[in-house]
Amino acid sequence: MSNFLDRLTLLETFVRIAESGSISSAARDLGLTQPSASRQLAALEDRLKTQLVRRNTHSLALTNAGIELLADARQLLNGWEALAEKHLSPDSELSGSLRIVAPIALGQSHLIRIAGQFLKNHPKVRIAWELNDDDIRFTERGCDCWIRVGQVPDETLIVRELGSVRRLLVASRSLVDMHGLPGTPKKAERYPLVALSPYEGGKISVLRGQRVASCTPQVVLETNNIFALKESVLAGIGMAIVPEWFVVEELGNGQLLDILPGWEAPRLRISAAYSPGRHRPQRLNVFLKHIADGVLGMKGIEAP
């Protein structure tokens, strides 16, 4: 492997191995066999006369030399892609891969359907779709776009706001029959609360226009999983603040009720974050617009 393109291939394989943390996973992403990906990594280490990766039967980690090379390799591959795109015909089809990190609930329902339509429109693009509600180290993860509900904690990223998420205080019909509609936020304290961490705790706030009110119901269950939250509310364990988009069907069929009509919890921002690098692939630009348009078509999400 002596020419420039072969060297780029070695670097691309190394970057994919570093980002996935697995030679076999990287091989699948690249359409290679595991032995072929291993040979390419070994060839790169031989060419650079240094060990880039430490391997054992259970894990893979970059050496110091590997960590340094990863940043340089990304920059070189990014520059090559910028050059290639600059000289492509304007009517060329989008191609290449995208690594997207998306929130779990939205990412396995609405967003994956939006992304699926993008792939139908651009069949030569390939997407690696990771679901994760935790904070991530963007540069270490090697993703192209991080779709996030709530604050994006990395100030080095460009953040594009996609919309604001309406959130309602809801309860099951059985719980409403037991306690009656509260009428006011203060009277909602007689309801037990199922809290979603880290967004809610023992004290919840709601808004009606410019008016703000709060109450401190008893928290009977706290969870960091929104699916567990909804199941608990449907079972009548307590009321909860939930995104409107997440309970549209249950509100429509009467399983859940908006117990404070006209009031809503403070909205959460949904954003797409990406690196401020000099070149942003055209496939990412088109994907960002497609996601932004799709998100605004969802009930319960309004324009930023």
- Closest by CA position to 125, among listed 97, 88, 92, 90: 97
Long-range contacts of 214-219 (CB under 8 A, 24+ apart): 214/185, 215/185, 215/186, 215/188, 215/189, 216/189, 217/188, 217/189, 217/190, 217/191, 217/192, 217/193, 218/192, 218/193, 219/192, 219/193, 219/194, 219/195
Alpha carbon distances (Å) from 75 to 5, 79, 80, 121, 124: 15, 6, 9, 29, 23
Tokens of 74: 């990304």
Q: Where in the chain is the domain with CATH 1.10.10.10?
A: 1-92
Helix, strand, coil percentages in the chain from 3-state DSSP, rounded to 5: 40, 25, 30
Asked if residues 205 and 180 have their Cβ atoms less than 8 Å apart, the reply is no
User: DSSP readout, 90-149?
Assistant: TTPPP-EEEEEEE-HHHHTTHHHHHHHHHHHH-TTEEEEEEE--S---HHHHT-SEEEEE
User: Which CATH architecture describes the domain 165-266?
Assistant: 3-Layer(aba) Sandwich (3.40)
Inter-axis angle of helices 23-30 and 4-20, nearest 10: 130
So what's the pLDDT on residue 28? 83
CATH code for the structural domain at 1-92: 1.10.10.10
pLDDT in tens, 156-214: 899 999 999 999 999 999 999 999 999 999 999 999 999 998 777 778 899 999 999 99
pLDDT in tens, 77-133: 777 776 766 666 666 788 888 989 999 999 999 999 999 999 999 999 989 899 999
Examine residue 198 and say whether the peptide bond preceding it is cis (omega within 30 degrees of 0): yes
Tokens of 258: 């908006």
pLDDT in tens, 35-63: 998 899 998 988 899 999 888 767 788 89
Residues 6 or more apart in contact with residue 91 via CB below 8 angstroms = none
Whole-prediction pTM: 0.77
Tokens of 56: 């054992």
Q: Where in the chain is the domain with CATH 3.40.190.290?
A: 165-266
